[in-house]
Amino acid sequence: MTLPDKKTLADYEQLKEKINYHNRLYYVDDHPEISDAEYDRLFDRLLEIEKHYPELVTPDSPSQRVGAEPSKKFEPVRHRLPMLSLQKVTTVEEFAEFDRRVHEALEIKEDITYITEPKLDGLAVELIYEKGLFVLGATRGDGVTGENITANLRTIRNIPLKLSKQAARDYPLLEVRGEVIMRKSAFEKLNHKLLEQGFSPLANTRNGAAGSLRQLDPKITASRPLLFFAYGISHTNLKGLPDQKTTFDFLIKEGFLTNEHIRLLKGIDKTEKEFTRLTEIRAELDYDIDGMVVKVNNFAWQEILGQISRAPRWAVAWKFKAETAESVIQNVEFSVGRTGVITPIAKLKPTRVSGVTVSNASLHNEDELKRLDVHLGDTVIIRRAGEVIPEVLEVVIAERPANSHRVKYPLKCPSCGEKIIRLEGEAAHRCLNPACPAQIEGRLIHFASKSGFDIEGLGDKLARQLIKEKLVSEPADLFFLKKEQLLPLELMADKKAQNLIEAIARSRKADLPRIINALGIIGVGETAARALAEYFGSFKKLMTADRETLEHIPGIGNVIANNIVSFFTVDSNRRMIEKMKQGGVVFPDYVSVKTEGRLAGKNFVITGTLSQPRNYFKKLIEDNGGKVSATVSGNTDFVLMGVDPGSKFDKAKKLGITIIDENELRKMI
């Protein structure tokens, strides 16, 4: 074992301090001082030292956020003090009754000082620090026993791995409690990426946070945009921390992120006004909340008030009126995606919720079906998760019909009849038959989509006809179609057939990122396809790349790297690529034309109908160094607006973001 010299040791400790300092500026204070490149330089130097001197690595090293080895299961953890649930109130009258009980129990007449904060819709966790070091993290579980998810929590960048020397000295054992969430904007980007990669989207931000934290592989958790908001500590008798407000001040000082809408309020009237304020701004927040938590601020008073069962008498959750609706499950269908994933879809009695008529809702997977205990004919509570994806919140058991039957997951693929399986580590069931008609249809539609070969006129209906008439059995067959083969198809006139043949001819000259995306490699969407094209420059180099090389490309990682290598080792895939070449596909080399000096560092959002498809403008912006996001936020620099803009235009106006048209964009580049 080689020991580091004093200078290396000093450099190492200084690097840890610097990286932790910049992590706090970026993830907690939202005020970075250095560029991403400079941060990466510091981090690479840290990793270099640790590679040479592995004995230096301690649990508080920033490198430990990357993710440990996958776990086989999560071990149970018993909380030293229970993580209590909160009683709910939903009306002014119910909150007034809570206030009355507090006064009565404390035997005082003066106004109570409450501390309020938004009730975040995420996953409650506990972080345990011993002598200032983060040593264990657990889910709330049933309040008494949770699950050990320490390795996953370490990957969340805004969780301090080490506290100050004073905190370590004053509080040798400190249990910090809070909520892990996903911001709405980050959730939408993640779902867009999952859809790009051929995966099912997440249902909502709460399930996104909970599912990400319960991954057996911490590297997956590390790739998810999670944040931890601290809301308290387990002990209320610590020296120097007499109340909730002082505790928040202490947590902020120690580098924890706390909510910006925490308020210290005296009396019931001011507390009611704060609830009204949060209700009004709820839709504008970049995270989901479902109410407001109200706590008696003074810890000594909390001790006097005590608890009933598993809920404290000194706090309540004042819940918003839910934007939900009731519907009835008329049927459950099982859809087969292009990657073979089987997804249960609830067919609902059409119902209005949040201003939209909903008739379908995803039930995601077998685990969700079992959790909800879905029966045909069930009355269910639904909401539009994140105001987009219809979601079944719960089943109203009391209204279940007497003759209803539990919905069972199929044992065979609904499309081809082959046996379906659930791979280890996955929530989804898959059909592994590459000749499955539903998968062929999905692959064909993806292959011809705007982000693939962009074959105009080839939609769902025509894809089904081509497969049914055995004109196409795999996407490469498209390049051998003749006009006379198309004419007998339903609604296929001479002009339409000619247009399709011409669109296929144009598509043979697709650029390399589109070709890579069109292949439908699991996990490789538009973003990853462009990264691969930029890195290798040629399709031949990509085909022969090894896992180690692929894993080092930003945005790829070990799972996608394995998928890429596996794809190119399958004989049928290699034959299809040869067939594409025989059909005239060029497979051109790729040279990035990104210009750093034009739109570099600028974030764009596109809304409305433009003169060209949105992907055209997305590529134009990205080729000139800009970034395109799906949602408008405080980080947006410009909104590119076309005809009939949607809600993004309204939000941009409210935030004072610059709105431009196509001509203005072209002038900028």
- Active-site positions read 119
- Rounded to 5°, angle at Cα 191 from 640 and 395: 125
Write the Ramachandran bin of 144: left for phi over 0, alpha for psi from -120 to 50, otherwise beta. Answer: alpha
Question: What distance in Å separates the CA atoms of residue 622 and residue 264, rounded to the nearest whole number?
Answer: 45
CA distances from 535 to 523, 545, 560, 584, 592 (A): 17, 11, 15, 25, 9
Of residues 302, 300, 330, the one with CA closest to residue 316: 302
Question: What distance in Å separates the CA atoms of residue 11 and residue 206, rounded to the nearest whole number?
Answer: 40
Type of residue numbered 10: A
Q: Return the number of other C-beta atoms located less than 10 Å from residue 456's C-beta.
A: 15
CB 89 within 8 A of CB 95: yes
CB 229 within 8 A of CB 74: no
CB 590 within 8 A of CB 511: yes
Tokens of 651: 């939000």
Give residue for tokens 């799972």. 559
Question: What distance in Å separates the CA atoms of residue 559 and residue 582, rounded to the nearest whole number?
Answer: 31
Q: Is 3 helix (H, G, I), strand (E, B) or coil?
A: coil
Tokens of 266: 């005296």
Question: What distance in Å separates the CA atoms of residue 96 and residue 91, rounded to the nearest whole number?
Answer: 9
Burial class (CB in 10 A: 0-12, 13-18, 19+), 11: middle
CA distances from 486 to 477, 480, 499 (A): 13, 12, 11
Tokens of 570: 């399958």
Question: What distance in Å separates the CA atoms of residue 414 and residue 429, rounded to the nearest whole number?
Answer: 12
Tokens of 493: 């006139």
Name residues whose C-beta falls within 8 Å of residue 17's C-beta, 6 or more positions apart in sequence: none
Q: Return the number of other C-beta atoms located less than 10 Å from residue 506's C-beta.
A: 12
Which secondary-structure segment (H or E) carries 120? strand 113-120
By DSSP bridging, strand 638-641 and strand 603-607 are parallel
Backbone angles phi, psi at 374, to 5 degrees: -75, 130
